Amino acid sequence: MGTALLRLQGVVAGYGRGDVLHGVDLTVEEGAVTCLIGPNGAGKSTVLKTVSGLLRPKRGRITLLGRDIGGLSPQAVLSHGVVHVPQERSLFPSMSVWDNVLMGGFVLRDRAVVRRRIEHIADRFPIVANRRHERAGSLSGGEQKIVEIARALMLDPVLVLMDEPSTGLDPRARQLVFHTITEINEGGRTVLLVEQNARSGLAIAHHGAVMESGRVRLEGTGSSLLADPEVARLFLGAAPANRG
Amino acid sequence: MSSDAEDRTRSQAEVTQEATPGSTRQEGRPIQGSAWKRLTWPARRVLRTAGDRYDRMAKPARLGVSAGMVVLAAAVPVLLPYVTADSGYWTSVATKIGIAALLALGLNVVVGFAGLLDLGYVAFFAVGAYTFALLSGAGRYAIAISRSQPNAFKLLPTWHMYFWLLLFVALLVALIAGVVLGTPTLRLRGDYLAIVTLGFGEIVRITATNLNSLTDGSQGVNQIPHPAINVGSVHYNFGLNNEAYYWLLLAVIVIWIFLLRRVNDSRIGRAWAAIREDELAAASMGIPTIQMKLLAFAMGAAVASLGGVIYASQIGFISPDSFQLFSSDFGSVIILAMVVLGGMGGIAGPIVGAALIIFLPERFRFVGDARFLIFGGVLVLVMVLRPQGILPSRRRAAELEGGEVRETSVFEARQAGS
């Protein structure tokens, strides 16, 4: 730990004419879970989209292990080992669970590799094995999220970008999703997590960053941000009672 | 549990599923739903089991079934005289069905496979027909050349010899037209795409109407040569023999189906399925969505163009009126109706749709113009009772019905086999 895997320097990006990100500086350390929190509209999701190539940065540098990946196509970013699990449900609803996971390996040309990876994923995620024939659309929201994460692992990524994975899930499913994130991180993958649910997000994060109006305002370890009264007041809601 | 043990249980589960081809689910389940569903249950079950059977057949057996169907289709002109007194007329209808089936199979790639609503498909049919008509030496353009250079035709004495060459030229022209029209268009989605393609269909037709110097405008191009075969001692002119065109179309359709199956079972087919369901998710899987959509568009265009060449060479005359949006034969809307009625996303569906949509109005010709009323009524009825079409691909049916059909993984079967 300690080396920077992903580094954003002065990234400016947005949709159409308006900018959402006004110069984002952020470092994601290798092997860590980094959690990005902040109010709605702060640009958290936009950061992920810019990194994964779905949105082209207008200015600034994005480097992965020192190599520039800013402005590459989504395919090219994928081939650098960066996968994006979007916020909205993104499984192909009428395809089977198994086909969905296979689709995660679309850019892989070698069938033997695909076969090996999916077997491995089926071992690690029982839902992929047990419900392989079911339509992905018939799974519950939490189950779908787990399959999405499983699908993202098809490319054996070095960095997983996860956009609000707990949205719309009940507490148990949410817990399972966070548990899964911790697990894949312990397996050696770096995770950049965007979470509206700041408490749960920071609780599993090694490092946290607070965004506001398109900039990173505060950074620190997950636990230090959780303890920070300013963060608590601004974003966590329900300020700790009677401080000071 | 160790991963080995898990593997074993899983493969056992697969084996049991293989052994009972979808039957436990069908027979065991109480029939629910509307009276219509209960009434048509046997018919739908037969269709579905037939499809299941076909899917599970060994490759040689499947080839055998396909070959049998091709032979049956090829025998139609031979058998017609035994069925009807007016076999000449019905052979011409069969040829029309052939062109319609080819167009429907082409449009199906765009609409059924890639999920792009294309309302200007007839444009490429026109591109093919006009490319062939003009290059073959029919029309004013060619006449002008022959006047200024009387020897031009002596250099190329039998234009119809070049039918086969021009077939490929027209195919290439349509491919290029498909890419040119598709590149700016395919960034749009859904309704917007439909409107723009609608516009392109009209642009091509209006261009043909107004480009007098080349196309002779609304007068059209006539005396388009028929195809001919001149190989060694074999000399055969297709002339007005509808059977010959029918068999030519059948050959083109068979080749096309072969290509289509190969493409649809490949990475490209998977990419199309993904784009159809969720374009954004497909892009984030690393699927080059624009290129894949363009490929579908260009493939569809190329096939339409082949249809156009054969149509022009058979009829011998084309005019912009042949390529209207609502033209009763091969208008964009009619071709789309064939695909939707027959069932999107498969092979058999569009063929059945094409056959019905050409056959029904011909069959009911004796009731005069009321036949279009009947025809429209039948269309509405089928769409109400069977919105997924008569013979949909099972993947598409699953998308529409929300899972009544258990889907066997196409990709997985392939992967296991490889």
What lies within 8 Å, CB to CB, of B232 at 6+ separation is none
Please check whether residue B146 touches A, CB under 8 A.
Answer: no
DSSP character at residue B297:
H
**Among the listed residues A18, A23, A15, the one whose alpha carbon sits nearest the alpha carbon of residue A214:** A23
pLDDT tens digits for B215-260? 777 788 887 888 878 777 777 888 888 899 999 999 999 999 999 9
pLDDT at position B142: 57
Yes or no, beta carbons of A94 and B407 under 8 Å apart: yes
Which residues between 257 and 276 in chain B have a beta carbon less than 8 angstroms from any beta carbon of chain A? Answer: 267, 270-271, 273-274
Q: What is the DSSP code string of A151-168?
A: HHGGG--SEEEEE-TTTT
ipTM over 0.95: no
Instruction: Kindly tell me the burial class for residue B229, based on how many C-beta atoms sit within 10 Å of its own C-beta (0-12, 13-18, 19 or more).
Output: middle
User: Rounded to an integer, what distance in angstroms lies between the CA atom of residue B120 and that of residue B113?
Assistant: 17
Yes or no, beta carbons of B284 and A54 under 8 Å apart: yes
- The dihedral through the CA atoms of A13, A14, A16, A18 has a sign that is negative
Compare CB distances from A96 to B267, B280, B409 and report the shortest one's residue: B409
pLDDT at position B139: 61
pLDDT at position A36: 92
- What are the residue ranges spanned by the domains of chain B? 59-396
- Contact residues on chain A for B284, CB-CB shorter than 8 A: 52, 54, 74, 84, 86, 90
Yes or no, beta carbons of A107 and B285 under 8 Å apart: yes
User: Rounded to an integer, what distance in angstroms lies between the CA atom of residue B304 and that of residue B309?
Assistant: 9
pLDDT at position A243: 43
Yes or no, beta carbons of B403 and A94 under 8 Å apart: yes
Please check whether residue B287 touches A, CB under 8 A.
Answer: yes
Nearest CA in chain A to B286: A75
Which of B17, B275, B284 to probe the A interface (max A CBs under 10 A)?
A: B284
User: Rounded to an integer, what distance in angstroms lies between the CA atom of residue B344 and that of residue B330?
Assistant: 18
State the pTM of this model. Answer: 0.80
Q: Mark out the alpha helices in B230-322 (DSSP H runs).
A: 242-264, 267-277, 279-284, 289-315
User: Rounded to an integer, what distance in angstroms lies between the CA atom of residue B352 and that of residue A68?
Assistant: 54
- Contact residues on chain A for B17, CB-CB shorter than 8 A: 133
Yes or no, beta carbons of B409 and A132 under 8 Å apart: yes
Please check whether residue A93 touches B, CB under 8 A.
Answer: yes
Yes or no, beta carbons of A90 and B399 under 8 Å apart: no
User: Rounded to an integer, what distance in angstroms lies between the CA atom of residue A198 and that of residue A194?
Assistant: 9
Q: How many CB atoms lie within 10 A of CB B308?
A: 32
Radius of gyration of chain B (CA): 23
pLDDT at position B351: 93
Compare CB distances from B283 to A74, A91, A129 and report the shortest one's residue: A74
Please check whether residue A108 touches B, CB under 8 A.
Answer: no
Provide the residue type at B240 as one letter: L
Determine the distance in angstroms separating the CA of A19 from the nearest CA of chain B, rounded to an integer: 22
Yes or no, beta carbons of B403 and A138 under 8 Å apart: yes
- What are the residue ranges spanned by the domains of chain A? 4-88+158-235
Nearest CA in chain A to B402: A94
CB-side exposure of B137: number of CA atoms within 13 Å? 17
Please check whether residue B6 touches A, CB under 8 A.
Answer: yes
- Contact residues on chain A for B407, CB-CB shorter than 8 A: 94-96, 133, 135
Q: Which residues of B108-118 are buried (b: 16+ CB within 10 A; e: fewer)?
A: bbbbbbbbbbb
pLDDT at position B36: 67
Determine the distance in angstroms separating the CA of A35 from the nearest CA of chain B, rounded to an integer: 21
Q: Which CATH class for the A4-88+158-235 domain?
A: alpha beta
User: Rounded to an integer, what distance in angstroms lies between the CA atom of residue B269 and that of residue B14?
Assistant: 24
Determine the distance in angstroms separating the CA of A177 from the nearest CA of chain B, rounded to an integer: 20
Nearest CA in chain B to A76: B286
User: Rounded to an integer, what distance in angstroms lies between the CA atom of residue B368 and that of residue B399?
Assistant: 39
Please check whether residue A123 touches B, CB under 8 A.
Answer: yes
Instruction: Kindly tell me the burial class for residue B331, based on how many C-beta atoms sit within 10 Å of its own C-beta (0-12, 13-18, 19 or more).
Output: buried
Angle between helices B242-264 and B87-108 (to 10 degrees): 20
- Contact residues on chain B for A135, CB-CB shorter than 8 A: 398, 403, 407
User: Rounded to an integer, what distance in angstroms lies between the CA atom of residue A222 and that of residue A34?
Assistant: 8
The number of C-beta contacts closer than 8 angstroms across A and B is: 90
Instruction: Give backbone dihedrals phi and psi of A162, rounded to 5 degrees, phi first.
Output: -125, 120
Yes or no, beta carbons of A106 and B273 under 8 Å apart: no
What tokens appear for B372 in the block? Answer: 């279009």
H/E run at residue A27: strand A21-29
pLDDT at position B231: 74
Yes or no, beta carbons of B408 and A92 under 8 Å apart: no
- The dihedral through the CA atoms of A8, A12, A15, A16 has a sign that is negative
Please check whether residue B414 touches A, CB under 8 A.
Answer: no
pLDDT at position B416: 37
Compare CB distances from A95 to B6, B273, B284 and report the shortest one's residue: B273
Please check whether residue B2 touches A, CB under 8 A.
Answer: no
Instruction: Kindly tell me the burial class for residue B382, based on how many C-beta atoms sit within 10 Å of its own C-beta (0-12, 13-18, 19 or more).
Output: middle
Please check whether residue B184 touches A, CB under 8 A.
Answer: no
Compare CB distances from A111 to B278, B288, B415 and report the shortest one's residue: B415
For chain B, list residues with pLDDT below 50: 1-29, 152-158, 160, 403-418
For chain A, list residues with pLDDT below 70: 1-2, 234-244
Nearest CA in chain A to B10: A129
